[in-house]
């Protein structure tokens, strides 16, 4: 089998067993919140982008504050990060 036909898979540790971390006080913007939650889940920008099905540059633009996610993307983000009341309120307040 050639290199192009090989499939590489990587197992990541299950983060559900860890206690939730308190977000730093600098998460006053949606971009900072996304970045903090992404790091909490040990996801690189390209991992998060792959889970959502968007370009990596768009995730970076969210974190830099130059773009904002759509309502549909916000729903996917809250599922990835855990749909708690904090994420719902945060998305509602900063949209």
**To which CATH superfamily is domain 27-94 assigned?**
lambda repressor-like DNA-binding domains (1.10.260.40)
**In this predicted structure, what is the pLDDT of residue 57?**
95
- Given a cut of 70, whether residue 13 has pLDDT beyond it is no
User: Tokens in use for 6?
Assistant: 């090989």
Residue 17 has what pLDDT?
47
Q: Is the pLDDT of residue 24 over 90?
A: no
Cα(14)–Cα(41) distance, integer angstroms: 9
Assign 89 a pLDDT band (cuts: 50, 70, 90).
Answer: low
* Summary mean pLDDT of the chain: 76
How do the domains of the chain map onto residue ranges?
27-94
């Amino acid at each position: 089998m050639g290199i192009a036909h090989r499939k590489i898979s990587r197992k990541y540790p299950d983060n559900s067993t860890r206690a939730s971390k308190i977000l730093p006080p600098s998460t006053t913007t949606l971009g900072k919140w996304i970045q903090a939650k992404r790091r909490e889940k040990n996801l690189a920008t390209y991992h998060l982008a792959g889970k959502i099905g968007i370009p990596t540059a768009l995730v970076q633009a969210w974190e830099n504050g130059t773009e904002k996610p759509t309502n549909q993307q916000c729903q996917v983000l809250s599922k990835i990060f855990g749909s708690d009341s904090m994420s719902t309120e945060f998305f509602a307040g900063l949209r």
